[in-house]
Amino acid sequence: MGGNLEISLAAVNVPPEAMDYVMDTLRRGRLSQSEYVERFEKALTDWTGAKHAIAVSSGTMADAVALGAMKIKHHHNRVVCPALTFVAQPNAARMNEMDIEFVDVSEDWTMSVEQAERWRELAIAYPSDCMGRLARIPSGMPCVEDACEAFGSTLDGRRAGRFGEIGTYSFFVSHTLTTGEGGAIVTDDDWLADLCRTLRSHGRASDSDAMQKFRFPFYGFNAKMTGVIAAVGCGLMEHVDEYVNRRRQVFKTLNELMDNRFTEREGEIVIPHGYPLEFEGQMRRDEAMRLLLDEGIECRKFFSSIPSMEPAYAHLRRYLGRYPVAEYIAQTHLYLPCHQNLTQAQIERMAAVARSLPFLSKPRI
């Protein structure tokens, strides 16, 4: 099951510019740090409107570095994280040896603001823009916005990643901008940006001053993006609007064929990571997955409730029932492909198969 899938979850675009820049990088032997890293960062600041962008090796490392910097800035050792998310999000907090307070999500899959705000003055908020939907930001709390699944989504014209004090992106293959592995941090805060650059490079005092290179004021990571990957990113950024608009178009077509069951807030434009569907129960959802895979349509279970369903977090003793909304979604939802390279014929076929699935829940609108 799952082999030879005709409609895959991920799309890879490698424009000719990316190939030229990669060849240039290789020819000049600038495999690790190169001017393409700064060029990619500049393209990201221009596109997102952020004052600073810091390119890193993955979305996970973007989260780890951003959290590490916020921990130092706000003297907080605790984060409030949605129970329903991809495991990389809490893992990044653990890398920083931070305490994680998991809270339930709302029915729209994003972190419950009401529950998060109970930790005001005690913790950093760490919402995630799940499936491209923009999370509501808790008020009065320092905030890291994990926008790893939402590159390109906007609310009232403001881009995902720009709602917290600091935001993170992933350029993994299932996301809109795809360098294979890769990520970035964006912020308007000069001090935080400098600290992120330090933490990205082992926590060292300076990358450029030979006398400071082996001085380490902070505990850091090796989260640097390589020159080759940055060269790919530079090529992609020359086409970013094309990829984002195309993904949006695919989403709108699919959503119309599926009775507009994926709703948006007023002023919100979602550039999705996947297209979720809800089923009447776990066995029925699992059966739907088998049917989709047999039809050559790749799909995934929605994320799980990390603290109450994942063995890696069992030491927290947050038993099933503690996060009812997250657990319900984890047991009853799957998601379909919704990327920019899907053809009209593929979208129509996928929608026809999906609509015929037994026990597909009705749209909640």
Ligand X SMILES: Cc1ncc(COP(=O)(O)O)c(C=O)c1O
Whose structure tokens read 């979720």?
Answer: 276
Closest CA to 298 of 58, 47, 6: 6
128 binding ligand X? (CB under 6 A):
yes
Q: Verify binding: residue 108, ligand X, rule CB under 6 A.
A: no
Amino acid at 220: G
b vs e for 44-60, b when ≥16 Cβ sit within 10 Å of the residue's Cβ?
beebbebebbbbbbbbb
The Cα–Cα gap between 329 and 305 comes to 9
Draw the binding track, 129-158, toward ligand X (x: CB under 6 A; -: no contact). -----------------x-xx---------
For residue 37, which amino acid is it? Answer: V
Pairwise CA distance, residues 11 & 72, whole Å: 37
Taking contact as CB under 6 A, which single stretch among the options 15-23, 54-62, 211-219, 287-295 is the one that binds ligand X? 54-62
Q: How far is the CB of 17 from ligand X (least distance, A)?
A: 22
- Asked if 172 is part of the footprint of ligand X (rule: CB under 6 A), the reply reads yes
- Element of type H or E holding 269: strand 268-269
Neighbouring CB atoms inside 10 A of 240's CB total: 18
Shortest Å, Cβ 28 to ligand X:
27
Q: Which stretch binds ligand X (CB under 6 A): 38-46, 55-63, 229-237, 293-301?
A: 55-63
Identity of the residue numbered 138: P
DSSP 8-state secondary structure symbol assigned to residue 315: G
Q: How far apart are CA 47 and CA 154, in angstroms?
A: 12
Q: Applying CB under 6 A, which of residues 25, 58, 179, 201 lies at the interface with ligand X?
A: 58
Residue count at the site for ligand X (CB under 6 A)? 15
From the list 91, 131, 78, 141, the residue with the least C-alpha distance to 107 is: 131
- Among positions 13, 115, 170, 346, the unique one binding ligand X when judged by CB under 6 A: 170
Query: Does 127 help bind ligand X (rule: CB under 6 A)?
Result: no
> 36 or 172, CB closer to ligand X?
172
Nearest-approach distance from CB 300 to ligand X, in angstroms: 11
Among 40, 41, 43, 63, interactor with ligand X by CB under 6 A: 63
Residue closer to ligand X (CB basis): 295 or 298? 298
Nearer to ligand X, 178 or 295 (CB): 178
Q: Out of 13, 25, 34, 60, which residue is the one contacting ligand X (CB under 6 A)?
A: 60
Nearer to ligand X, 167 or 183 (CB): 183
Nearer to ligand X, 9 or 357 (CB): 9
Q: Cβ 82 to ligand X, closest distance in Å?
A: 9
- Examine residue 221 and tell whether it contacts ligand X (CB under 6 A): no
Task: Return the SS3 of 325.
Answer: helix
Pick the piece of the chain touching ligand X (CB under 6 A) from 2-10, 52-60, 98-106, 283-291: 52-60
Q: Is 59 in the site for ligand X (CB under 6 A)?
A: yes
Count of CB atoms situated within 10 Å of the CB of 348: 14
Among 84-92, 192-200, 245-253, 289-297, which window interacts with ligand X (CB under 6 A)?
84-92
Confirm or reject binding of residue 96 to ligand X (CB under 6 A): no
Specify the residue, 57 or 295, whose C-beta has the smaller distance to ligand X. 57
Dist CA 289 CA 301 (whole Å): 8
SS (H, E, C) 102-147: EECECCCCCECHHHHHHHCCCCEECCECHHHCCCCCCCCCCEEEEC
The correct pick among 21, 36, 47, 86 for binding ligand X (CB under 6 A) is 86
Amino acid letter, 348:
E
For residues 297 and 337, is the Cβ–Cβ distance under 8 A? yes
Which residues 264-293 are close enough to bind ligand X by CB under 6 A? Answer: none
Residues 6+ apart with CB under 8 A from 295: 353
* Residues at the contact surface with ligand X, assessed by CB under 6 A: 58-60, 63, 85-86, 88-89, 128, 146, 148-149, 170, 172, 183
